[in-house]
Amino acid sequence: MTDPYSEPNGVLRNSLGITDATELSEAEADIAAVELAILDAQPLPGSYDLAHLQAVPPADLRQRVPVGRGAANH
């Protein structure tokens, strides 16, 4: 059975259109570093427990995590 979330080469389908595993890994690391720097400079209020994270609208998760799926979608 074919995985609908992966490219034929096994790379996770993503909104960046990247199909190379190394390139995707580097992009994920770059995005995470930028997002962490933003959060460090501008902390957001909240407990960040499961209930808090589940309350984040899926559209917000897609903005912040363009290469994955949010917990709200599972």
pLDDT band at 71 (very low <50, low <70, confident <90, very high): very low
Cβ-contact 48, 41 below 8 angstroms: no
Spatial separation of the C-alpha atoms in residues 54 and 48, rounded to whole Å: 9
Spatial separation of the C-alpha atoms in residues 57 and 48, rounded to whole Å: 14
16-44 pLDDT tens trace: 999 999 999 999 999 999 989 998 998 88
Spatial separation of the C-alpha atoms in residues 33 and 52, rounded to whole Å: 22
pTM of the model as a whole: 0.62
47-60 pLDDT tens trace: 889 998 888 777 66
Residue 67: the pLDDT is 52
**Statement: residue 68 has pLDDT above 80:** no
